[in-house]
Amino acid sequence: MDKYDIIIIGSGPAGYTAAIYAVRANLNVLIIGGSKPGGQLMITTDVEDFPGFRKIQGPELMKKMREHTLSFGVKIIDEDVISVDFKKQPFRLKTDDKEFEAKSVIIATGASAKWLNIESEKRLIGKGVSACAVCDGFFFRNKDVAIIGAGDTALREALYLAGICKTVTIIHRNGELKAQKVLQERAFNTKNIKFLADSAIQEFIGENKLEFVKFKNLKTNKISELKVDGAFVAIGHTPNTLFLKNQLKLDNSSYIVVHDNIKTSVEGIFAAGDVHDFKYQQAITAAGAGCMAAMESKEFIENLKHKK
């Protein structure tokens, strides 16, 4: 069984940053990066809000982070962790064909955006269809966009986009919004936010870029089209924590519960990035959390030595 000081689960900005800080602290580090390494940035086009890069493609940024991490000699395996045992030291982790031990673990598996799962959506992701207003809203300044969703995520995105875009149309299946009342009031009082209730998206229309959204009124069954330059699917995220069930404290939405920013319910296990952060969900905040997790992990391992 391979043994490490720190095992990092996940290969997004949080995971790579944690690895860089940990290996520079002279710790033996392994990244178990997942079968689809790189995280949400792998489906992001232009990134203009990560310091040091005026504009860079999401996949290219992740490639640079991976290369930077590998340059320090960090071992990376692109496999999924299928189970863990955090009940005792050393902690154990299992992939499909191998088991590992670690004194400390940093979980940076992120969260996956929920999509509508229609063919035209997949085809136009990064070509007008997005799941992150903060990431991509800037590219639609002074243009018309749509938000699909009725909850807190949708209204927060709509309010953010209202300050950038010409118009924002919220399309939702419900007769009433599900978001907090304070968010609803702000949206209703924002002049360039419009609403299409009782409506469901049927198709995203456009060849090389989004041109229209086709939707159906669920009360009348009438099919209509709305001309937009961008559409943001804002129906929430699913944290990638299924393998942690009964091992760590999770909230009702399956995000890891943390205290002191990155500490979990098990001493020596730390969380970094979107796997616990459902508010900010940015590459730069994930990277910062990865740094904090590595430094805390280093301190935890030092304390282990003194306990022996």
Taking Cα atoms as reference points, which of 144, 161, 139, 138 lies closest to residue 234? 161
* Distances in whole angstroms, Cα of residue 189 to Cα of each of 20, 27, 163, 307: 46, 53, 13, 59
Q: What pLDDT is attached to residue 307?
A: 74
Please state, rounded to an integer, the average pLDDT across all residues of the chain.
94
Q: What pLDDT is attached to residue 45?
A: 66
Residues above pLDDT 70, as percent of the chain: 99
Average pLDDT, integer, range 88-101: 95
Residue type, 163: G
135 is catalytic: yes
**Both tokens assigned to 48:** 């203009």
* Judgement on whether residues 107 and 6 belong to the same structural domain of the protein: yes
Catalytic residue from among 136, 152, 229, 277:
136
* Judgement on whether residues 93 and 134 belong to the same structural domain of the protein: no
* Judgement on whether residues 102 and 250 belong to the same structural domain of the protein: yes
* Judgement on whether residues 103 and 242 belong to the same structural domain of the protein: yes
Q: Provide the number of structural domains found in the chain.
A: 2
Res 197 pLDDT > 80 = yes
Instruction: State the sign of the Cα–Cα–Cα–Cα dihedral 238, 198, 183, 205.
Output: positive
Catalytic residue from among 46, 78, 85, 135:
135
Per-residue pLDDT band at 97 (split at 50, 70, 90): confident
Residue type, 131: A
Task: Give the end of a domain, one of 205, 233, 261.
Answer: 233
Distance, C-alpha 142 to centroid of its chain? 26
Per-residue pLDDT band at 135 (split at 50, 70, 90): confident
Average pLDDT, integer, range 23-38: 94
Helix, strand and coil percent figures for the chain, each rounded to 5: 30, 30, 40
Per-residue pLDDT band at 292 (split at 50, 70, 90): very high
Residue type, 192: N
Domain encompassing residue 26: 2-112+237-307
Residues above pLDDT 90, as percent of the chain: 81
165 is catalytic: no
Q: Name the one residue in this structure whose structure tokens are 């602290």.
A: 25
CATH number, domain with residue 75: 3.50.50.60
* Judgement on whether residues 106 and 151 belong to the same structural domain of the protein: no
* Judgement on whether residues 52 and 10 belong to the same structural domain of the protein: yes
Q: Provide the b/e sequence for 177-214 (b: ≥16 CB within 10 Å).
A: bebeeebbebbeeeeebbbbbbbebbbbbbeeebebbe
Residue type, 7: I
Catalytic residue from among 78, 85, 132, 260:
132
Res 145 pLDDT > 90 = yes
* Judgement on whether residues 59 and 105 belong to the same structural domain of the protein: yes
* Distances in whole angstroms, Cα of residue 56 to Cα of each of 63, 195, 294: 11, 34, 26
Per-residue pLDDT band at 308 (split at 50, 70, 90): low
* Judgement on whether residues 187 and 132 belong to the same structural domain of the protein: yes
Per-residue pLDDT band at 37 (split at 50, 70, 90): confident
**Contact between residue 227 and residue 212 where contact means Cβ atoms under 8 Å apart:** yes
**Contact between residue 225 and residue 205 where contact means Cβ atoms under 8 Å apart:** yes
* Judgement on whether residues 132 and 276 belong to the same structural domain of the protein: no
Q: What pLDDT is attached to residue 239?
A: 95
* Judgement on whether residues 54 and 156 belong to the same structural domain of the protein: no
* Judgement on whether residues 18 and 103 belong to the same structural domain of the protein: yes
Average pLDDT, integer, range 254-263: 96
* Judgement on whether residues 227 and 119 belong to the same structural domain of the protein: yes
291 is catalytic: no
Q: What pLDDT is attached to residue 270?
A: 98
Length of the chain: 308
